[in-house]
A and B are shown apart, each in its own frame.
Chain A
């Protein structure tokens, strides 16, 4: 698929899965989509390994936009991007946007064939500057 991929990273697997459900129902299947949540040991949190796996699953040559919830999700997502390394890391952006609205808006933009830059910009518009 050549549309930009969307990855949803929440501390809670329920939030991540629910957000992905909303994207699928509201935007459809035209967008590569993956989610992860939880610390990998049954608790709340995020796991770098799981984020790397989600990026692989949603991978698109057009790039991947990651939507996160709280601080640790952002830190861990940035770490995951760094560990994936070049050249793919240049095509992955951690968005500064609310997770649910950001994921739906970014996926909507992506489904129309927009570039990674456009997808990210659409998500960022949701954040107070």
Chain B
């Protein structure tokens, strides 16, 4: 991937998080501690600020560096979880990945996130978006279809009962609200998918 392309992905990701920060915070206020939008915005703005440095690196190194930056700047429980996603992707992705290489690395990255959060799909978390995205990748779906699958998966967290994270303290009361981490994951998937498709 050319440096300009990676830089565009960073811009797309940071733009969507900034545009939806208030919405993410509102979702998190309903069943979490209400800092998700602000935390994610701080993290992705920090990544945006160093986009040129990241983009100059080979793709795997760039992803690892983005992950590390997110760990250090997002804070909360989301920092390590989103950071791990990018760091693990960078660890397993070839420098010039095809769809199979991307799918395999994405699968490994999901496993890393699940291990970090001691969670699995079905517990009203970002994994509930990542897993369907992985399946759509594996099935050879288009970027647009993958983004739609991510949105649908985030919506599908609404009726779920939270079993991990602060929302799990609410038990049944977590039902009826979309998980903020699932929503931000879907936003990132759409932003990246659309940026890639726009090539």
Q: Which residues of A contact B (CB under 8 A)?
A: 39-41, 43-49, 70-72, 75-76, 78-79, 83
B75 and A75 contact, CB distance less than 8 A: no
Select from chain A the residue with minimum beta-carbon distance to B76: A45
A83 and B71 contact, CB distance less than 8 A: yes
B75 and A83 contact, CB distance less than 8 A: no
Q: What separation, in Å, do the CA atoms of A115 and B41 have in the docked complex?
A: 43
Residue B52 interfacial (CB < 8 Å): no
Beta-carbon contacts under 8 Å, B12-35 to A? 33, 35
Beta-carbon contacts under 8 Å, B53-102 to A? 68, 71-72, 75-77, 79-81, 83-84
* 6 tightest A-B CB contacts, nearest first: A72-B77, A79-B80, A39-B75, A48-B71, A49-B72, A75-B80
A75 and B81 contact, CB distance less than 8 A: yes
Q: What are 7 contact pairs spanning A and B, CB under 8 A? A: A49-B72, A70-B166, A71-B164, A71-B166, A76-B80, A79-B71, A83-B68
SS class of chain B's interface: helix, strand, loop or mixed? helix
Residue B117 interfacial (CB < 8 Å): yes
Shortest distance in angstroms between B77's beta carbon and chain A's nearest beta carbon? 4
Contact partner, A44, options B33, B68, B71, B72, Cβ 8 Å:
B33
Residues of A within 8 A of B164 (CB): 71
Shortest distance in angstroms between A123's beta carbon and chain B's nearest beta carbon? 19
Q: What separation, in Å, do the CA atoms of A87 and B81 have in the docked complex?
A: 23
A72 and B76 contact, CB distance less than 8 A: yes
Q: What separation, in Å, do the CA atoms of A40 and B116 have in the docked complex?
A: 21
Residue B132 interfacial (CB < 8 Å): no
Residues of B within 8 A of A71 (CB): 77, 164-166
Q: What separation, in Å, do the CA atoms of A71 and B80 have in the docked complex?
A: 12
B75 and A45 contact, CB distance less than 8 A: yes
Q: What separation, in Å, do the CA atoms of A113 and B81 have in the docked complex?
A: 36
A40 and B165 contact, CB distance less than 8 A: no
With A44-B33, A71-B165, A75-B81 already in contact, the answer to whether A39 and B71 are too (CB < 8 A) is no
Residues of B within 8 A of A39 (CB): 35, 75-76
A43 and B35 contact, CB distance less than 8 A: yes
A75 and B77 contact, CB distance less than 8 A: yes
Contact partner, B79, options A48, A70, A78, Cβ 8 Å:
A48
Residues of B within 8 A of A49 (CB): 72
Contact partner, B35, options A45, A46, A76, A79, Cβ 8 Å:
A45
Inter-chain pairs besides A45-B35, A45-B75, 7 sampled, C-beta below 8 Å: A48-B71, A48-B72, A71-B77, A71-B164, A75-B80, A79-B83, A79-B116
